[in-house]
């Protein structure tokens, strides 16, 4: 250390601190659950913590999700964070991640809308060896079937956060709401269960979807 003034030493220390932080922090967390279970809220909470700790953070979302905003991710409670909309396929994600090479923490919301391509799974696993990655995704589609990318990524993640909503089914006889933990996303058309052959992807909010428990999840 001979010959270094205290300012140089200070910057050396900052560099060492930054390097050890980068080396230490990597891995993949997948946050899953039905709609309204708090996936986006949790994703934004985690990313905000990293921002507060001085990490560089970026949030990505599939460009087909234009609910609320094109350049932000917005939770059902109105929490917001600026986001980059990417084409929901391998090249869209790969290009975005390449541009964000120096960013330390990456969030991806609504992963289920990405194409069912194993290359996307491999890309996320590879990137999360170098940096911290948080992914939020629906567990199942409206029919109760898994989404391919989510199904493949989930068991390979370092950590899984499984969230439940509250079942909103109302018993027509008693008028009472079920209130059980909801693990399914009910699609409704004019208040009635959507048919099995309806398109898999239909971007919507409260008007077309509600969280339900397994007992009250219906397909017509
Ligand atoms: P997700 O990303 O999983 O769709 P959000 O994080 O955007 O969920 O929103 C979660 C919020 O939705 C909750 O904090 C709650 O205020 C609200 N919410 C509305 N209806 C329900 C419900 N039936 N069960 C749970 N949360 C609900
Ligand atoms: Mg969400």
In this predicted model, which residue has the larger pLDDT, 28 or 3? 28
Give per-residue pLDDT as tens, 38-94. Answer: 999 999 999 999 999 999 999 999 998 776 678 999 999 999 999 999 999 999 999
Ligand 1 center–CA 141 separation, angstroms? 17
Q: Which helix (H) or strand (E) holds 192?
A: strand 192-193
**What CATH number is given for 24-163 in this structure?**
3.40.50.300
Confidence band (pLDDT; 50, 70, 90) for 158?
very high
Domain chopping of the chain, boundaries: 24-163
Residue 22 pLDDT exceeds 70: no
Mean pLDDT score, 96-108 = 97
Does the C-beta of 34 come closer than 6 Å to ligand 1?
A: no
Ligand 2 centroid distance, CA of 16 (Å): 37
Beta strands in 20-130 (DSSP E): 27-33, 57-62, 72-74, 80-82, 84-86, 105-108
Rounded to an integer, the average pLDDT of 198-217 is: 94
Q: Is the CB of 39 under 6 A from ligand 1?
A: yes
Each residue of 105-149: pLDDT tens digit? 999 999 999 999 999 999 999 999 999 999 999 999 999 999 999
What is the number of the ligand 1 atom nearest to the C-alpha of 43?
Answer: 6
């Amino acid at each position: 250390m001979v010959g270094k003034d205290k300012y140089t030493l200070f910057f050396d220390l900052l560099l060492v601190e930054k390097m050890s932080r980068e080396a230490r922090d990597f891995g993949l967390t997948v946050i899953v659950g039905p709609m309204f279970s708090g996936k986006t809220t949790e994703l934004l909470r985690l990313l905000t913590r990293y921002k507060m700790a001085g990490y560089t953070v970026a949030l990505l979302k599939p460009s087909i999700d234009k609910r609320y905003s094109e350049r932000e991710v917005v939770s059902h409670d109105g929490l917001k964070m600026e986001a980059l909309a990417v084409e929901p396929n391998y090249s869209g994600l790969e290009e975005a991640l390449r541009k964000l090479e120096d960013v330390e923490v990456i969030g991806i919301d609504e992963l289920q809308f990405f194409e069912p391509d194993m290359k996307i799974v491999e890309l996320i696993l590879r990137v999360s060896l170098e940096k911290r990655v948080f992914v939020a995704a629906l567990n199942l589609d409206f029919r109760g079937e898994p989404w391919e990318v989510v199904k493949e990524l989930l068991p390979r993640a370092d950590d899984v956060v499984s969230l439940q909503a509250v079942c909103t089914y109302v018993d027509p006889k008693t008028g009472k709401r079920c209130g059980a933990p909801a693990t399914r996303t009910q699609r409704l058309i004019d208040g009635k269960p959507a048919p099995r052959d309806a398109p898999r992807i239909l971007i919507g909010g409260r008007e077309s979807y509600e969280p339900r428990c397994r007992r009250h999840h219906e397909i017509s």
